Amino acid sequence: MNLHFTPEEQAFRHEVKQFIAASLPADIQHKVHNGLILERDDYVRWQQALHARGWGGSSWAKEFGGTGWSAVQKYIFEEECAAAGAPRIVPFGVKMVAPVIMAFGSPAQQQRFLPGILSGEEWWCQGYSEPGSGSDLASVKTSAQREGDHYLVNGQKTWTTQAQYADWIFCLVRTDNEVKPQRGISFLLIDMKSPGITVRPIITMDGAHEVNEVWFDNVKVPAENLVGEENAGWTYAKFLLGHERTNIAGIGIAKRELARLKRIASQETKNGKPLIEDPHFSLRIAQIQIDLNALEITNLRVLSAEEQRRTPGPEASILKIKGTEIQQAITELMTQAVGTYALPLRREAMAAGYDGEHAGPAYASSLAANYLNMRKLSIYGGSNEIQKNIIAQMILGL
């Protein structure tokens, strides 16, 4: 793959920069650059701005209302958005369930669901993990029993990110207990307003309400909401997870946060000198930079394969592992840079407009929460330990 950008691609980058400068709300940009709390409205406003420009589906084909961009264009777009302080696109609709609907859904499902995802009018969440079924998704127990023209769903999902905001949930459900576990799973689209659904918050150690338990008690789901074939959901689930792990790499975000780390290290001091001049600390920053450069090359290779209509394979596992490790290493160094000022966990100081006192420099107030929140990266989307097993089996042949 040629890693030198063409004049046309450079012109595209300039166009993206101009759009962001004109369209990204300043208050959202401030929140992102300073690690402050983003609300649902922030994500929706940015998705709507992208949609108005025709860029709501940067990875979608034109026939579905997407941009039809090349892999390089998508990469440039995401890199510039992250660098400018745009919020990350909420992946559950645009980047996860939408590709499944486009590839395996019926024309009626594509017509019904894709426009709302593209415009940001309908918020989705993911119903994969269950108690006892995290990385081992084939063991899901939430059942869907076919009764005439509908399914009756019972069970529980957990760690459901932003389910408190969701209009819809895509679920892996057990539709056959008499076959091999992978062959008895189906993929259902469920309206979160359906009677029988209960959402219970889970407060994580950073004090945030980001994930939830979702309970299904005799929830009636129209059979027309089944994606593809009954009991073929495992195939669709793997397809979706490949896209999720590619996106988890977060190259642009890591670049932005690494730049933030360097700014903080330039303002903190050690032995009377800027911390960034400390040989030990600067060496750790350099190692992250090297790892990030290598990951970027791997990410471009995977995007090139996607452009040639090849589904991401085990390379996506490499992106998942290294991408999450790099993001965690950056937040770890940030907290170490400010020392004891990172110890207080005060979420009120992470709200936009907070005018109270900070324990140290204002930029330190969000570091503890961000550090704790980033610990989850190596767990969700299939834990890093599971990804290492995939690499061992599918790449190394062990």
Report, as residue numbers or ranges, the catalytic residues.
244
Beta pairing partners, 269: 274
Strand ranges (DSSP E) for the chain?
124-127, 143-147, 150-157, 168-174, 185-191, 197-203, 209-222, 269-270, 273-274
Two structure tokens written together for 283: 């060496």
- Name the strand (E) or helix (H) holding 79: helix 71-84
CB hemisphere CA count around 376 (13 angstroms): 16
- Which own/partner pairs from 343-352 qualify as long-range (CB within 8 Å, at least 24 positions apart)? 343/368, 344/368, 345/206, 345/207, 345/369, 345/372, 347/37, 347/206, 347/207, 347/208, 350/35, 350/36, 350/37, 351/36, 351/37, 352/27, 352/30, 352/31, 352/36, 352/37
Our measurement of the distance from residue 195's CA atom to the centroid of its chain's CA atoms, rounded to an integer in Å, reads: 29
Round to whole Å and give the CA distance between 96 and 386.
20
- Residue 375 · residue 246 · CB < 8 Å: no
Round to whole Å and give the CA distance between 46 and 162.
17
Two structure tokens written together for 16: 């993206």
Two structure tokens written together for 122: 């309908």
Which among 91, 84, 79, 15 is positioned nearest to 53, based on CA atoms?
A: 15
